[in-house]
Structure 1
Amino acid sequence: MGTHVIKMPDIGEGIAEVELSQWHVKVGDLVVEDQVLADVMTDKAMVDIPSPVHGKVIALGGQPGEVMAVGSVLISIEVEGAGNLKESAAPAPVKEAPIAPKAEATVESKPVAAAAPRPAAVCQGPMVAREADERPLASPAVRKHALDLGIQLRLVRGTGPAGRVLHEDLEAYLAQGQSNASAPIAAAYAQRNDEEQIQVIGMRRKIAQRMQDATQRAAHFSYVEEIDVTAIEELRAHLNEKHGASRGKLTLLPFLVRALVVALRDFPQMNARYDDEAQVITRLGAVHVGVATQSDVGLMVPVVRHAEARSLWDSAAEISRLANAARNGKASRDELSGSTITLTSLGALGGIVSTPVLNLPEVAIVGVNKIVERPMVVKGQVVIRKMMNLSSSFDHRVVDGMDAALFIQAIRGLLEQPATLFVE
């Protein structure tokens, strides 16, 4: 037997150290080639580290939350063969993070980025003894299937190689659960005194640091405007009916991106970055729209580059591609950086008002609330209209309150008269 020592790989782009976010194996586990061993966190992305060999884990090189230098010992694996010590860097990292989106800022829901409601799994099959933070092996398609069924993947016994969860395992879990559906529910009313401590590491720590930094450095103020989206929803439905099969379905997001692009022509101060150390404001001609997207590892902001040069369907396709990449953990560093203004939403759960936090060093973020039908007075008549609020935040060091109000009202006018989105 021999020992294969895997060192922290060079993630690239000059990164000298990364944070060890999560182990997917423990000492004594048998692993196979390409099995994910650990997640590490760079400044922007979660990266999976796969195993280059088959063997047995005999030592772990760090604890979750620990910052490790590139080239340091990550893990030691006992392998078949001679007894000499072998060393290598881990193979090229595979970016595959959990894909379960939460109810904020996905891009495939009706009003804007939010996942469609999912049924809770009322049936529970035989459970597997996994740790609460242990991530089972499964393909992205299986993870999506489990998400749609409302199944916690860590509870499902995998019958594939190295315990990988297959589609058949999900079906078996559901079938077994049906026989347990009549189990007593008295335990739901039992007193509880348990506590759980959750270490703030990885993506969650990065998000916490960025949010705290943003609220401490920028002079936030928010402005809320009500918008009648009846006309643009009718246009969206018409375009989907006529061109959806050939060009793809449109959500509201590409219309919002288009409205941002057009409104920014008259309000270039919103499409800017503020270097508060150098005291310099940089206004940009290119509109790189960050689309806040919730993933299982936290909030990510993939960037639709040069939105000013994209059609509705081009924007829709790019938004969908980036959102899927972010939720699957496959978005590159470049795809998660460089935005000039951000669009965020809680989608169907968007409530009435929100107070988005700026994505520094940007100076504006446009927040979208849910669409609701309400009676409105139009030309003296009470009619039912589809209404939506924009709850947006700005950096008062750069943006004056009146300019912010006029900017959002310009977006309102474009969305309420959607033909003006395309009049040059």
Structure 2
Amino acid sequence: MGTHVIKMPDIGEGIAEVELSQWHVKVGDLVVEDQVLADVMTDKAMVDIPSPVHGKVIALGGQPGEVMAVGSVLISIEVEGAGNLKESAAPAPVKEAPAAPKAEAVVESKPAAAAAPRPAPVCQGPMVAREADERPLASPAVRKHALDLGIQLRLVRGSGPAGRVLHEDLEAYLAQGQSNASTPVGAAYAQRNDEEQIQVIGMRRKIAQRMQDATQRAAHFSYVEEIDVTAIEELRAHLNEKHGASRGKLTLLPFLVRALVVALRDFPQMNARYDDEAQVITRLGAVHVGVATQSDVGLMVPVVRHAEARSLWDSAAEISRLANAARNGKASRDELSGSTITLTSLGALGGIVSTPVLNLPEVAIVGVNKIVERPMVVKGQVVIRKMMNLSSSFDHRVVDGMDAALFIQAIRGLLEQPATLFVE
């Protein structure tokens, strides 16, 4: 028998060290060639490290959350034969998952189960055997979804990596007629003294670092404007009725992308990146719109490239494709970088006002709040209109307050008179 030593691989782009995010094996496990051993995190992506050999794990080189230098020992595997006589780096990573984005908000989160009442317990079905105090792996969004549905996560079988519970697992659990029927009566009123410590590592640490960096470096200011979206919602409904079956359904997002594109023609200073170390502002002709997206592995910002050259349906299809890729962990590095301005929305959970954090090095982020029906005075008459706020943030080092206000007012005018979105 021999030992095959795998070193931390060189991910590229001049990266000298990476964070060990998660082990998929433990000492004593038998592994096969191409089996994923660990996830490591760079500044841009989560990368899977596969095994180049068959064998048995005899030593792990670090703990999750540890920052390891490229070339340091990652894992040792006992193999038949002599093994590798000289230590070698792991093979090229075979799969990339998205890294933490630089933006703060979310777009098109899981459907608004939060607004629905918790279902009554239904018939008990087969469940996963977990201890009462065992905490299954799940994202905050999945935990919130389970809470809204009245499901105990410890009873749900997870189909994600390392048994992580996904939204689909909750739906499958309900479909099988399982619920929290085993919860003793009155348990909701029992005293609890348990506590939990969660290590901030991997994607959550990257998000925290980027949020802190953005708020410390940029001079944030926000501007909120109310918009009457009745007309554009009527246009959207008409287009979906006429063309939805053949071209796909339109959400409000492609209209917002189009409004950004048109408004930026008069406000190019918003479509820019600021290198604060070199003291250089770069204004770009191409409009690459970052769309902040929630996934089970964290927040990320896939990029709709060259939005200025896309139709409504083209933008809608690309937004949908990128959002699905991000949620499924299949978005590439190129799809998660290079944005020039960011659009962020909490969808139906958008609230009245938000204060989005800039996606550095960009200088503007446009935040979308929820649509509500309210009585409004129009030409002296009280009528019901669909209203929505835009809560947007800017870097005051680059963008003046007056320009920011005029920019959002331009977007407001385009959305309230939607025909102007298509007038050249």
- What is the TM-score with the length of structure 2 in the denominator? 0.83
Alignment of 1:359-374 (within 5 A): 359-374=359-374
* Native 8 Å contact 2:359 2:365 kept in 1: yes
2:267: which partner in 1?
Answer: 267
Distance 1:155 1:399, change over 3 A: same
* Native 8 Å contact 2:41 2:99 kept in 1: no
Distance 1:173 1:308, change over 3 A: closer
Distance 1:82 1:128, change over 3 A: farther
Q: What secondary structure is seen at the aligned counterpart in 2 of 1:134?
A: coil
Distance 1:369 1:166, change over 3 A: closer
Distance 1:89 1:101, change over 3 A: closer
CA apart distance, 1:135: 12
* Native 8 Å contact 2:101 2:299 kept in 1: no
Q: In structure 1, how many angstroms separate the alpha carbons of the residues matched to 2:277 and 2:155?
A: 49
Q: In structure 2, how many angstroms separate the alpha carbons of the residues matched to 1:408 and 1:114?
A: 30
CA apart distance, 1:62: 0.7
CA apart distance, 1:69: 2.4
* Native 8 Å contact 1:7 1:88 kept in 2: yes
2:308: which partner in 1?
Answer: 308
1:380: which partner in 2?
Answer: 380
Distance 1:22 1:121, change over 3 A: farther
CA apart distance, 1:12: 2.9
Unaligned runs of 5+ in 2: none
Distance 1:171 1:302, change over 3 A: closer
Q: In structure 2, how many angstroms separate the alpha carbons of the residues matched to 1:139 and 1:389?
A: 29
Kindly provide the CA deviation profile for residues 175-206 of structure 1, in whole angstroms up to 9, marking residues without a partner as x.
87648625424333221222222121212112
CA apart distance, 1:218: 1.3
* Native 8 Å contact 2:221 2:394 kept in 1: yes
Over the aligned positions, Cα root-mean-square deviation in angstroms equals 4.8
Kindly provide the CA deviation profile for residues 250-276 of structure 1, in whole angstroms up to 9, marking residues without a partner as x.
111111111001001111111111222
Q: 174-183 vs 402-411, which deviates more?
A: 174-183
CA apart distance, 1:23: 1.6
CA apart distance, 1:406: 0.8
Q: 284-293 vs 133-142, which deviates more?
A: 133-142
- What is the TM-score with the length of structure 1 in the denominator? 0.83
CA apart distance, 1:4: 3.3
Q: In structure 1, how many angstroms separate the alpha carbons of the residues matched to 2:98 and 2:117?
A: 18
Q: What secondary structure is seen at the aligned counterpart in 2 of 1:172?
A: helix
The count of aligned residue pairs is 424
Q: What secondary structure is seen at the aligned counterpart in 2 of 1:205?
A: helix
* Native 8 Å contact 2:62 2:74 kept in 1: yes
Distance 1:168 1:47, change over 3 A: closer
Q: In structure 1, how many angstroms separate the alpha carbons of the residues matched to 2:227 and 2:46?
A: 37
Q: In structure 2, how many angstroms separate the alpha carbons of the residues matched to 1:11 and 1:54?
A: 23
Q: 223-232 vs 120-129, which deviates more?
A: 120-129
Distance 1:152 1:178, change over 3 A: closer
Distance 1:85 1:215, change over 3 A: same
2:233: which partner in 1?
Answer: 233
Distance 1:145 1:377, change over 3 A: closer
Q: 186-195 vs 313-322, which deviates more?
A: 186-195
Distance 1:177 1:3, change over 3 A: farther
Distance 1:356 1:384, change over 3 A: same
CA apart distance, 1:373: 1.2
CA apart distance, 1:290: 1.0
Q: 67-76 vs 174-183, which deviates more?
A: 174-183
Unaligned runs of 5+ in 1: none
* Native 8 Å contact 2:374 2:387 kept in 1: yes
Q: In structure 2, how many angstroms separate the alpha carbons of the residues matched to 1:52 and 1:118?
A: 48
Q: 29-38 vs 122-131, which deviates more?
A: 122-131
* Native 8 Å contact 1:108 1:320 kept in 2: no
Q: 23-32 vs 99-108, which deviates more?
A: 99-108
Distance 1:326 1:148, change over 3 A: farther
Q: In structure 2, how many angstroms separate the alpha carbons of the residues matched to 1:133 and 1:46?
A: 30
CA apart distance, 1:54: 4.1
Distance 1:330 1:414, change over 3 A: same
2:292: which partner in 1?
Answer: 292
Kindly provide the CA deviation profile for residues 273-301 of structure 1, in whole angstroms up to 9, marking residues without a partner as x.
12222222221111111111122222211
CA apart distance, 1:372: 1.0
CA apart distance, 1:224: 0.3
CA apart distance, 1:130: 7.5
1:124: which partner in 2?
Answer: 124
Kindly provide the CA deviation profile for residues 109-134 of structure 1, in whole angstroms up to 9, marking residues without a partner as x.
79999999998997876555679999
